[in-house]
Chains A and B, each alone.
Chain A
């Protein structure tokens, strides 16, 4: 008995304190002080949510900057026991988890690399352009990958390459304090800015 009471009472007290009071307090303060971040850094257009500044989206049209490939999937609408490829499914994050001797990975890389060559894009291929990210939701691409897409976007949209480059530049983040992380381009921000230019 002398052990049971402290075990149970302390467990309940700490559940109330760390499991309810703490997360609700952080929610209250976070929502009050930093509502934009606390709600997922959402981006709106004419009052509708078009996505999150932090979460990548799939873009397939030639008019848009393309993101990295994504390994996320979703339940098959025809047979819920199976899954189908669903890039940038932000309701179920995952990476490919394929290892360095995986034939499946080799096939995927070869296919992407052939497509890259066929499109006449600059060599060598940037490291992020045909690899999937850890989350499948990477909102960024490398500046090199963005640069390789400038000519395509400019020609489809009848813009000058300098204009497209300008748009990309404004959506490029450097290293934090010039030191931390890697330079990166936010794909959704670029595409929104391209649409705003209206061509």
Chain B
């Protein structure tokens, strides 16, 4: 059983790596504006879009202009999505005649999709019209992912260029991400997912009469088109309430395979793109090693914890070999549920194929911890790369302090400004996660949403704010988050986690671009070998671990101890 499980995990991860290398090379061409296989078809579309929008693709922007364009575009996307959700009742393609979302739910959902979080305070099949799903949510699935990719490119250019005043053109990077990468991949894989069993229809539901004579209403809709980009863009907002645990959203082991591949492939590929653009693929491989080592460790711990089951299940007389199947689907079993849980939180995807709330305490701790580490293993599309580069800047700074040398990374001197900005960015995580959790844990409005009592209740809160701040979107879904308190505060946490991180990150990009790129000498601390891999892993774990350990000790760790003593709540 365990051997087969690990074989499944290994094959899926190997398939991702195999595809990520050529895809990374393709992306390097796309962002450099070179001709690719798709140019004959998409080139005219791209140029047409620029002409209509009044964009001169040759004119680049400094980091401030780039940041302003990005913020304005995201603000416009928010307003449009909020309007669609509030006006849902008056708009077409609403076969179930769903009414408007409440103001706080529409705010939360619009923020959620614009920030690439895709937290679901709503249940898709009982809230959203087809138009909201397609022209509202699906659009932001594309554009928030494209925004992440564009931002990563800006930072990569900061490292690649020497004495440059610009970091690229936001409109161009965003347009190319969508047209050449996200749209073609989504289109092809959406058709594949339909072939493998996923519905794609404009009908809302079908009524069935069961063999026992009961009536069953089966919710349907344009599922495949949304799921393809939901996975590829590491968005994670499901068509249905239970996301990819729903048999229509993830019908077979094969669709499960395709979807794990989809959510990983771009985030890994862009690291190889980075390697090409800075002209040193060893640096990219080192980062992939860091991501891989920590992610595989996360998968292993989750898998082991779920396979071990819980005392409660054993007491009920369940076969100990079957582990913990509460909240899991038979077609996925333990290995694929554990793999998905670690991948979706190591990424900032947040789609789930099993209910994390019903995981064992340690099995649930890992997804929470992976989110708290900053969504860099390998992180969301684009956001994972700029996240781990910010951590690398901190790592070389720490390394430089230890040996008393001026820190350097990829030929750029890392000075006070970069380190300050990097710290400003990463400090958003503990501030928002721990701050909001602490308040929610004492306010009646926060406690009102809990399903489980005891330490698991605290875990529900902690998980929610970790997920929102990390722009992940998965949940310990016992929490009733559709209340003015949670909708508002989780929305704020998402905004902080996204934009309060991005702006200092872009400042780093601008500052690095302006510096001279130094040739490496014998005095340079190499950042592609095992020593740096170890250093970066250490910095990620210590920074993440120390900040969140006390909170985790009160939640999942306390629950583990109490569970073993047979305590229930």
Binding site for B on A (CB under 8 A): 2-11, 13-15, 17-20, 22-23, 25-27, 29-31, 33-34, 37-42, 45, 48-52, 54-61, 64, 68, 88-103, 105-106, 109-110, 112-113, 116-117, 123-142, 144, 175-176, 179-182, 184, 188, 191-192, 195
Contacts and interface: CB of A to CB of B under 8 A. Distances in A.
B329 interface: yes
6 contacts: A14-B178, A26-B200, A38-B201, A40-B220, A59-B210, A126-B319
A34 B52 CA distance: 37
B454 A101 contact: yes
Given A26-B187, A101-B559, A134-B245, A127 B126 contact: no
Contacts of A129: 318
A176 to B, nearest CB: 5
A136 B123 CA distance: 14
CB-based closest 9 A-B pairs: A127-B322, A181-B253, A134-B245, A182-B333, A19-B135, A97-B478, A99-B456, A95-B355, A30-B194
Contacts of B313: 109, 127, 131
B76 A182 contact: no
B112 interface: no
A91 B190 contact: no
Given A90-B217, A134-B242, A34 B212 contact: no
B559 A99 contact: yes
Contacts of A140: 329-331
Given A34-B194, A93-B242, A130-B316, 10 more contacts: A9-B53, A20-B135, A26-B224, A38-B200, A54-B197, A57-B211, A95-B477, A100-B312, A101-B563, A139-B247
B80 to A, nearest CB: 6
B330 A101 contact: no
Given A30-B200, A138-B247, A182 B330 contact: yes
B8 interface: yes
A27 B209 contact: no
Contact of B478 (A2, A99, A110): A99
Contacts of B352: 134
A10 B194 contact: no
Contacts of A135: 240, 242, 245-247, 329
B4 interface: yes
B554 interface: no
Contacts of A19: 134-136, 138-139
A93 B249 CA distance: 11
A25 B187 contact: yes
A133 B329 contact: yes
Interface residues of B, number: 130
B224 A30 contact: yes
B327 interface: yes
A101 B453 CA distance: 9
Contacts of A30: 190-191, 194, 200-201, 224
Contacts of A139: 247
B77 interface: yes
Contact of A179 (B7, B247, B331): B7
B310 A54 contact: no
B293 interface: no
Contacts of B358: 95-100, 105, 134
Given A11-B80, A57-B210, A124 B452 contact: no
B216 A180 contact: no
A14 B142 contact: yes
B317 interface: yes
B455 A101 contact: yes
A77 B476 CA distance: 29
Given A6-B53, A51-B216, A179-B4, A41 B197 contact: yes
B73 interface: yes
B187 A22 contact: yes
A44 B537 CA distance: 55
B25 to A, nearest CB: 25
A96 B312 CA distance: 15
A37 B49 contact: no
Contacts of A130: 316, 318
Interface in B453-482: 453-456, 459, 476-478
B8 A180 contact: yes
A188 B312 CA distance: 30
B203 interface: yes
B330 A23 contact: no
B326 A98 contact: yes
Given A23-B225, A39-B201, A176-B254, A126 B568 contact: no
A188 B214 CA distance: 13
Nearest to A42: B206
A96 B245 CA distance: 13
Given A3-B72, A51-B218, A99-B452, A91 B332 contact: no
B53 A134 contact: no
A10 B336 contact: no
A37 B327 contact: no
A112 B316 contact: yes
A116 B139 CA distance: 49
B222 to A, nearest CB: 5
A54 B241 CA distance: 16
B401 interface: no
Given A95-B477, A100-B563, A102-B456, A7 B451 contact: no
Contact of A37 (B171, B199, B323, B455): B199
Contacts of A25: 187
Contact of A56 (B143, B194, B212, B247): B247
A3 to B, nearest CB: 5
B342 interface: no
B246 A93 contact: yes
A97 B477 contact: yes
A138 B251 CA distance: 10
Contacts of A41: 197, 199, 251
A64 B49 CA distance: 59
A4 B134 CA distance: 24
